């Protein structure tokens, strides 16, 4: 059986793929009560331009003395020289990252994973659907498309969060609504502020407000919590977007990022090198990609 995507062989691989390079946190500020935004630059400035990544790829971040974990990249490669991350405080490494101060250093290695198929997506309409933390990896491709706007067709950005306070990059995305070259729709499950000017309801509710789409010419990019996939996928499939043009980026436990430690294995694939971007066909075909049962009902 053919591997889904291996871009690794063409890339320059360093001698020790586990060696983290030291980067400096140059900006850090809270996005929500438990999630921070980080901007980092390499200490060795020559390394800045060597970190060639594409949207959808991830990096392994180390905190000296705490450990290492995988994080998706939230910045766009069209603005090179730095990396941005969006990290929620939920564990050991993320806890240490939450305590870190600007000007402190972190270890970074990567980029890893297949990323989005940027070349195939050129000229196509793009529909991005983010739920909660799913905005973290999808912001990379969103900004990339906006920076290379002429290369893509119509752009739609749908984003759902629990409450206005939980919405990542809230101000940044609200400003996108001013632009005329994309459709940006934001929604919250519940507005507890009384000041929310956008939609209220789950993200799937936004689909009924969509203009008709040219389904065969559209790529749908989805990322969110497991429960979201179940409902969003039904909608996206109903729109008639081809299975291989529905892409999602997945999360798994990883200790290496380079297909060695085994933790992210799904049947014969490794999420770290064959993913983390998978198509809806992969999900139907592989069963355990987005959890048991999510695709069971689909026969044809």
Partner 1 sequence: MMILKMKKEDLSTFLDAAKEWGELWGPTKREGRVSYAKVDSLSQMDLKATRTIIPPKKFLYPPRFTMFDYDPDGYTERLGDVPRRILFGVHPCDIHGILIMDKLYLETYKDPYYAERREKTIVIGHSCIPDDKCMCFATKTDYIAEGFDLFFTDLKMEYLVWVGSSKGHDLIRIRPELFSRSLDRSDILAYTGYREWKNSQYKVDIDLEGMPDIFELGYTSPVWDKLAEKCLSCGQCSMVCPTCNCYNVVDDIELGSLEGTRDRYWDSCMFREYSLVAGGSNFRDKRADRLRLWYTHKLQAYISEFGKPACVGCGRCVDTCPVDINVVSVSTALREQEVGK
Q: Which residues bind partner 1 (CB under 8 A)?
A: 1, 3, 6, 8-9, 13, 15-22, 62, 64-69, 88, 90-91, 94, 105, 107, 226, 251-253, 255-256, 258-263, 265, 267-268, 273, 287-288, 291-292
Query: Which distant-in-sequence residues (6+ apart) come within 8 Å of 122 by Cβ?
Result: 151, 152
Report, in Å, the least distance between residue 173 CB and partner 1.
23
Report, in Å, the least distance between residue 121 CB and partner 1.
25
Report, in Å, the least distance between residue 211 CB and partner 1.
35
Report, in Å, the least distance between residue 125 CB and partner 1.
32
Query: Between 106 and 145, whose beta carbon lies closer to partner 1?
Result: 106
Q: Quick one: CA torsion of 34, 174, 188, 225, rounded to 10 degrees?
A: -60
Cβ proximity of 77 and 28 under 8 Å: no
Quote the CA–CA distance of 8 and 3 in Å, as a whole number: 12
Cβ proximity of 28 and 39 under 8 Å: yes
Rg (CA), the chain: 19
Report, in Å, the least distance between residue 220 CB and partner 1.
23
**3-state class (DSSP) for residue 236:** helix
Report, in Å, the least distance between residue 274 CB and partner 1.
11
Query: Between 89 and 163, whose beta carbon lies closer to partner 1?
Result: 89
Length of the chain: 300
Residue whose structure tokens are 């705490």: 66
Query: Between 70 and 164, whose beta carbon lies closer to partner 1?
Result: 70
Quote the CA–CA distance of 63 and 85 in Å, as a whole number: 14
Q: Quick one: CA torsion of 253, 258, 259, 263, rounded to 10 degrees?
A: -10
Locate 251 and state its tokens.
């999360």
Query: Between 167 and 289, whose beta carbon lies closer to partner 1?
Result: 289
Locate 81 and state its tokens.
């020289």
């Amino acid at each position: 059986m053919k591997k889904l995507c291996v871009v690794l062989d063409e890339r320059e691989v360093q001698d020790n793929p586990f060696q983290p390079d030291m980067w400096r946190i140059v900006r850090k500020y809270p996005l929500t009560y438990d999630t921070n935004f980080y901007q980092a630059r390499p200490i060795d400035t020559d390394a800045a331009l060597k970190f060639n990544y594409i949207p959808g790829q991830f990096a392994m971040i180390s905190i000296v003395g705490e450990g290492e974990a995988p994080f998706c990249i939230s910045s766009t490669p069209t603005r090179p020289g730095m990396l941005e991350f969006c990290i929620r405080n939920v564990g050991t490494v993320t806890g240490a990252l939450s305590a870190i101060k600007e000007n402190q250093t972190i270890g970074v290695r990567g980029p890893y994973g297949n990323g989005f198929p940027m070349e195939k997506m050129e000229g196509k309409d793009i529909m991005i659907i983010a739920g909660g933390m799913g905005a973290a990896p999808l912001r990379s491709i969103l900004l990339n498309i906006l920076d290379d706007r002429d290369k893509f067709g119509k752009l739609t950005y749908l984003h759902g969060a629990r409450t206005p306070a939980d919405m990542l990059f809230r101000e940044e995305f609200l400003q996108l609504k001013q632009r005329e070259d994309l459709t940006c729709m934001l929604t919250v499950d519940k507005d507890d502020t009384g000041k929310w000017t956008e939609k209220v309801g789950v993200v799937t509710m936004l689909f009924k407000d969509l203009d008709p789409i040219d389904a065969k010419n559209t790529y749908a990019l989805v990322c969110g919590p497991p429960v979201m996939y179940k409902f969003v996928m039904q909608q996206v499939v109903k729109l008639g977007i081809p299975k291989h043009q529905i892409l999602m980026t997945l999360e798994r436990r990883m200790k290496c990022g380079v297909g060695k430690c085994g933790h992210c294995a799904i049947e014969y694939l490794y999420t770290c090198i064959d993913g983390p971007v998978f198509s809806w066909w992969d999900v139907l075909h592989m069963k355990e990609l987005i959890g048991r049962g999510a695709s069971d009902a689909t026969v044809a």
